[in-house]
Amino acid sequence: STTPAVVTVTGAAGQIGYAALFRIAAGAMLGHDRPVRLRLLELPHAVSAAEGTAMELDDGAFEQLLSVDIFDDARAAFDGAEFALLIGAKPRARGMERADLLQANAAIFAEQGEVLNDVAAADLRVVVVGNPANTNAAIAAAHAPDIPPERFTALTRLDHNRAIAQLAHRAGCAARDISRVSVWGNHSPTQYPDIFHARVAGRSGADLATDRAWLVDDFIPTVARRGTAIIEARGASSAASAASATIDHIHDWVLGTESDDWTSAALPSPGVYGVPEGLVCSFPVRSVGGRWEIVSGLEINEFSRARIDASVAELAGEITAVGDLLPA
Ligand code: NAX
């Protein structure tokens, strides 16, 4: 399509926003033939930094970039948005309990859901990156009664891509030789990267999984705790990889997944694979005709079942913790 896409990015002056915006402007997200209008939302104190980023976007002279507008008001920023990349969130401060973090972010995402409901485009697609991403997405969806809930997704593509990277190292192959990895559950250390259905350079993932010591003590914790390892090494949290995964997520949602592959995304559960309806949970998904479809019929063994259940229980607990911000 050559109709300009209206893309609103929150937390635009943050480190993920900075890394994402240039690739969106360069056509990596929606294809190299789709013009883009960027709308950046920031907190008032970070508007100046966003203006600096907008100056640099200008200086990219990107052929597809039609405009960049900056806002500190959500209602203005989301006006006509077809894509909402909800990256901005309240970070966890020293001494803050997880429940307080959930509450603080639930308030932000409740408000953003309401505003999206009022002013976004009819075909709006949302990806929540700001943590706790799954529950933030559930809250936003619950406050947007006129928008189909499946338009609210949360990012687990970074976890998916991290799982591919670890498998590639293990098998001594390239990322492109790996398909059908699945990430289940919450974007948190309880997430479950599932390789039992994967294809790894001609081998089955189940074959690799027979080495249970590697699977349990190496692969799963390395993927689940990769964010912490990045902070320790880099002195800052994942930014370019998170931006890249966000772009992959929207790219595949709009343009489709490869026919013999799938990816992972968190979406409101329709009540499949033992995940209670409405929890925003990561599933293996295909994108067909611009919609995510959860891959059906996968056999879930006991090993996987226990891990999926643990992550889903955590998601249910998060929803309970923010219960008073959910409409009755
Ligand atoms: P930064 O602190 O660099 O940037 C966040 C930006 O958001 C700041 O500029 C801040 O002013 C802005 N902001 C805060 N509240 C806002 C609001 N209500 N409206 C608009 N803007 C707002 O964080 P960054 O490293 O970019 O990370 C952003 C979020 O992504 C964090 O919540 C982080 O935890 C989360 N992550 C999620 C990942 C995922 O896979 N789902 C992975 C990476 C990342 O950790």
pLDDT band at 133 (very low <50, low <70, confident <90, very high): very high
Residue 40 alpha carbon to ligand 1 centre in Å: 13
> Domain limits of the chain?
5-154, 157-318
Give the pLDDT score at 328: 55
Greatest CA separation for the chain: 54
Any atom of ligand 1 within 6 Å of the Cβ of 257: no
Architecture of domain 5-154: 3-Layer(aba) Sandwich (3.40)
Higher-pLDDT residue of 93, 27:
27
- pTM for this one? 0.97
Q: Name the active-site residue from 32, 45, 169, 187.
A: 187
What separation in angstroms does the CA of 111 have from each of 22, 152, 247, 266, 313?
27, 14, 24, 21, 26
Instruction: Say what the ipTM of the complex is.
Output: 0.99
- The closest alpha carbon to 237, from 248, 229, 246, belongs to 229
Give the pLDDT score at 92: 82
Any atom of ligand 1 within 6 Å of the Cβ of 91: yes
Taking only the tens place, the pLDDT of each residue in 72-89 is 999 999 999 999 999 999
Any atom of ligand 1 within 6 Å of the Cβ of 16: yes
> What number does CATH give the domain 157-318?
3.90.110.10
If you ran DSSP here, which 8-state letter would residue 274 be given? T
Give the pLDDT score at 290: 97
Taking only the tens place, the pLDDT of each residue in 238-293 is 999 999 999 999 999 999 999 999 999 999 999 999 999 999 999 999 999 999 99
Annotation says 187 is catalytic: yes
Rounded to whole angstroms, how far apart are CA atoms 17 and 85?
Answer: 9
Taking only the tens place, the pLDDT of each residue in 136-151 is 999 999 999 999 999 9
pLDDT at 1 over 70: no
Give the pLDDT score at 91: 86
Residue with tokens 């990277």: 165
